[in-house]
Amino acid sequence: MRDQATAGGDSLHGENHRHGGNLVAVARRLGCRPGQLLDASASLVPFGPPASVRRVLRAALRARAGRPSPLRDYPDRSYGSLRDAIAAFHGLDPLAVLPGNGAAELFTWAARDAAAAGLSLLPTPGFADYPRALACWGGSWRSLPLDLALPRAEGFPAVGSALPAGALWITNPHNPTGQLWSRAFLEPLLPRFALVIVDEAFLPLVPGGEAQSMVPLLADHPQLVVVRSLTKLFAIAGLRLGYALAAPERLGRWAAWRDPWPVNGLAAAVGEAVVGDHRWQERVWRWVAAEGPWFHGELGGLPGLTPLPSAANFLLVRGETSLLGLRQRLERNQRVLLRDCRSFDGLGPEWLRIGLQHRRGNRRILRALRTELGR
């Protein structure tokens, strides 16, 4: 039982293992350029961003003096156009949409509600940002260990109705395992809690994943919050853009708590342009459907490594012993970055997470692994 989540061990200016994608810090340490690194520590689409993103950014840079520009002007504090676009995509009332400075900002406000609701239950291994957000408000939480030997619904921990908990946090597909749970399996959990936060950051990248989204259940379950990210699907992590879907009363409260203009004007303009880009999403689905099974099979043939099944654009890999030395050699000798999994509660140094790349990048990772495993 954790009485209060703590950040623990992060340095304001240095590297840490809580997140992937620390390209600049790693390049500085290795004495190379960021462009020389293959970053499989962050699970982003390896191509893109879409042409629509580039058009928006070029137009903002070329806007003449005196003309409206998302770069020059303050953003609309209500984010009306962006909320309308997101609401239309999901078939919701715009008041049920709240854009955020990435999903991380929205977890902070979800955690404020969760802390007020009582004990939070966090399936583990799990994303370190949930305890981080709960710590902001002194929220208490308890781990619900997943059975990683059961990559199916049976591996989900028991959450009996007698357990005195107010909030449940779910990642679907689960991070870091890539397990996808069905809506039919998750729906019966909703009445047991005062608040259920479902993080669907990776769901838009899963082929057929939208069929398992909890969004259609929002109208009948005011205790449900769904958090989405646009950064992973559209390769715009630098813009920081996500959104929450929930009861308008709840989101109105969150909007009153936070700073003005949490989403910058460029991010808002880009989000409005890309939401509902079905052609791009279908391209991503084809990539995941092709590379995921192929890469899983190739990794499974390497000595001492066991990749878990995954529906997402990343694979969790278990080693027979600690993989910290392997990960460090991959960085130092091969310029390949894999995700250190010690930030996921319940995982130790024998685990790595690998974000899918295009075929050329995946082959480079495999060559690097074979070389370093053979040393």
**pLDDT the model gives residue 150:** 60
> What is the arithmetic mean of pLDDT over 81-97?
98
**pLDDT the model gives residue 154:** 52
Query: Strands 224-229 and 141-145, how do they pair?
Result: unpaired
**Beta-carbon contacts of residue 131 (< 8 Å; ≥ 6 apart):** 2, 5, 6, 122, 141, 345
Per-residue tokens: 195:
């608040």
Q: How far apart are the first and last CA of the chain?
A: 41
**pLDDT the model gives residue 56:** 93
Mean pLDDT, all residues of the chain: 90
Per-residue tokens: 130:
């949930």
Q: Domain ranges in the chain?
A: 23-50+279-373, 52-278
**Beta-carbon contacts of residue 302 (< 8 Å; ≥ 6 apart):** 366, 369, 370, 373
**pLDDT the model gives residue 21:** 63
Closest CA to 325 of 340, 344, 307, 303: 340
Same fold, 23-50+279-373 and 52-278: no
Per-residue tokens: 232:
């992973």
Angle in degrees, CA 171, 177, 179, rounded to 5:
65
**pLDDT the model gives residue 158:** 67
Given 3.30.200.20, 3.40.640.10, 3.40.50.300, 2.60.120.590, which CATH number is that of 52-278? 3.40.640.10
Round to whole Å and give the CA distance between 56 and 327: 38
Closest CA to 281 of 209, 355, 175: 209
pLDDT in tens, 266-319: 999 999 999 989 999 999 999 999 999 999 999 999 999 999 999 999 999 999
How many other CB atoms sit within 10 Å of the CB of residue 41?
25
The sheet with strand 305-307 has its strands ordered as: 305-307, 314-319, 351-355, 339-340
Helices (H) and strands (E) in the chain — how many of each? 12, 13
Round to whole Å and give the CA distance between 19 and 9: 13
Name the pTM for this structure. Answer: 0.91
Residue range 23-50+279-373, CATH number: 3.90.1150.10
> Is residue 316 helix, strand or coil?
strand
**Lowest-pLDDT range, 137-151, 157-171, 188-202?**
157-171
